[in-house]
Amino acid sequence: MAAQWPGWVTGVYWGALECTGTAQGVQGKGARVPVSCAPRVTAIPARWSSALGSILGIPSEKPSDTLGQHPPPVATSKEEQDRLLRGRPDQPHNPKVLRIAIIGAPNAGKSTLSNQLLGRKVFPVSQKVHTTRCKARGVVTHEDTQLIILDTPGLTSPFKAKRHKLEEAMLTDPWDSMKHADLVLVLVDVSDHWTRNSLSKEVLKCLSQFPQIPSVLVLNKVDLLKNKFILLELVTELTEGIVNGKKLEVSSAFKDNSSSSAKSPVQITQTSPPEKGDNTWDNSSDARASESRLGTEEAQQPKHYGPRDLKNMKGWPFFQEIFMLAALHGEEVDTLKRYLLLQAKPGAWEFHSSVLTSQSPQEICNNIIREKILEYLPLEVPYSVIQVTEMWEEGPSGELLIAQKLLVPRKSHMTMLIGRGGKVISRIVQEAGQDLMNVFLCDVRLRLQVEVKS
């Protein structure tokens, strides 16, 4: 049965999306530069203290180069994408590579951060948990370095997985990603009062299972914090007071001398000195060095913790860096990206430099449409929608024509998905179409048809 609403073709809404504006340096008529591809360049070097310094207003050096680039569009045909993925990657003279797993609770912002690092939105993002259902790779190629980003479903427990009716793969994927990672980013949503003070047991389990993989703590959504000083407390809790083998000391200058406004109100010091020849520290700590009291302490090696140890742990004392950012707005994302590029080790590229993601064009499209359905409909609807692509072809002017059927089990679901006067479905078409244009950098005509599955 197909939907009917006044003035429109039965059950069908053609969202004809015309592009405006042209992207510089990008081929294709009417292509748009995605908003997310112009992150604000802020502070280097990439020490955790510099990220914190920028939030607290401590001056830092300007970056010597920007990461401004035009990430490649995704190929619009599966054949072309397959050819790029299967073919031998191009290689610079001295290729470097870093595989990065991003783990954290559902909704921490893993996909948002991945998209920002990539400079183009290829992973679905939503306020609803479990938007990312399978692992996919994103590829950043910058000069001779390739970053391979493994966006994972949120780490969750078997109990919660059962409650959300999640597939088995959602429990095993993050673990799988860790096996292939050279570095792990642990993302924490600092705006979530319930979860921000400790790492989840799943995250701690994951970290202790792979103690040899360097880990970095990323505090996300700092834009939502009114009181940024809470970050200092969180850093101490989430690291058990130790970063890179050195003890942290956090104190507020307000306590000592509340009338001093010239002085930085906060001191964070590491009681043991950085390794010799660690230039990034030398460069970044000018503003703080005079205030730091440096002593010495033995650096501990990560060990394998048993379930009983983990039970009593709130944080992880083996992070090698801390970053604080707002992935949604691209704030401090370049600082992190620069740091990641520096961590890459000599090794062959795994992907051709024209590849942005390992997903097929159809997968990206399905995920983006699903993201919108998740965003605008109550939870019981999105999980029951079956997407069937009926058309995927190039139109006469080089535009991409996509028609998809959305099959739902109940008429009530169809009514909700279409919305009053087609309002909901047309919004989904508009927003998904816009996102798809930014992914493929060409005009996209998207048609969605809602039907009750017979």
Ligand X SMILES: Nc1nc2c(ncn2[C@@H]2O[C@H](COP(=O)(O)OP(=O)(O)O)[C@@H](O)[C@H]2O)c(=O)[nH]1
| Helices vs strands, H then E, count in the chain | 15, 14
3-state helix/strand/coil string of 233-272: HHHHHHHCCEECCEEEEEEEHHHHCCCCCCCCCEEEEECC
Size of the site for ligand X (CB under 6 A): 21
Binding site partner of 45, from ligand X, Mg ion, none, Cβ cut-off 5-8 A by kind = none
Residue 108 interacts with ligand X (CB under 6 A)?
yes
Closest C-alpha among 254, 206, 195 to residue 229: 254
Residue 238 interacts with ligand X (CB under 6 A)?
no
Residues 65-104 that bind ligand X (CB under 6 A): 104
Minimum distance of Mg ion from residue 149's CB (angstroms) = 12
Minimum distance of Mg ion from residue 44's CB (angstroms) = 28
Residue 328 interacts with ligand X (CB under 6 A)?
yes
Closest C-alpha among 129, 132, 250 to residue 192: 129
Binding residues vs Mg ion (CB under 5 A): 110-111, 132
Binding site partner of 16, from ligand X, Mg ion, none, Cβ cut-off 5-8 A by kind = none
SS3 323: strand
Structural element, H or E, at residue 412: helix 411-418
What are the angstrom distances between the C-alpha of 122 and each of 24, 119, 355, 356, 449?
A: 20, 9, 12, 8, 23
Residue 265 preceded by cis peptide, ω within 30: no
Instruction: Report how far residue 278's alpha carbon sits from residue 283's, in angstroms, rounded to the nearest whole number.
Output: 9
CB of 103 or CB of 355, closer to ligand X: 103
CB of 81 or CB of 132, closer to Mg ion: 132
SS3 189: strand
Query: With contact defined as beta carbons under 8 Å apart, do 316 and 218 qualify?
Result: no
Q: Which stretch binds ligand X (CB under 6 A): 53-61, 123-131, 164-172, 411-419?
A: 123-131
CB of 321 or CB of 332, closer to ligand X: 332
Minimum distance of ligand X from residue 221's CB (angstroms) = 4
Minimum distance of Mg ion from residue 107's CB (angstroms) = 8
Residue 414 interacts with ligand X (CB under 6 A)?
no
411-418 and 423-440 helices, crossing angle to 10°: 70
- Pick one of 11, 89, 106, 174: the residue that binds ligand X (CB under 6 A): 106
Residue 327 interacts with ligand X (CB under 6 A)?
yes
- Pick one of 110, 135, 337, 338: the residue that binds ligand X (CB under 6 A): 110
Q: Which stretch binds ligand X (CB under 6 A): 61-69, 91-99, 119-127, 273-281?
A: 119-127
- Pick one of 223, 233, 297, 393: the residue that binds ligand X (CB under 6 A): 223
Rg over CA atoms, the chain: 24
Binding site residues, ligand X, CB under 6 A: 104, 106-112, 125-127, 131-132, 154, 220-221, 223-224, 326-328
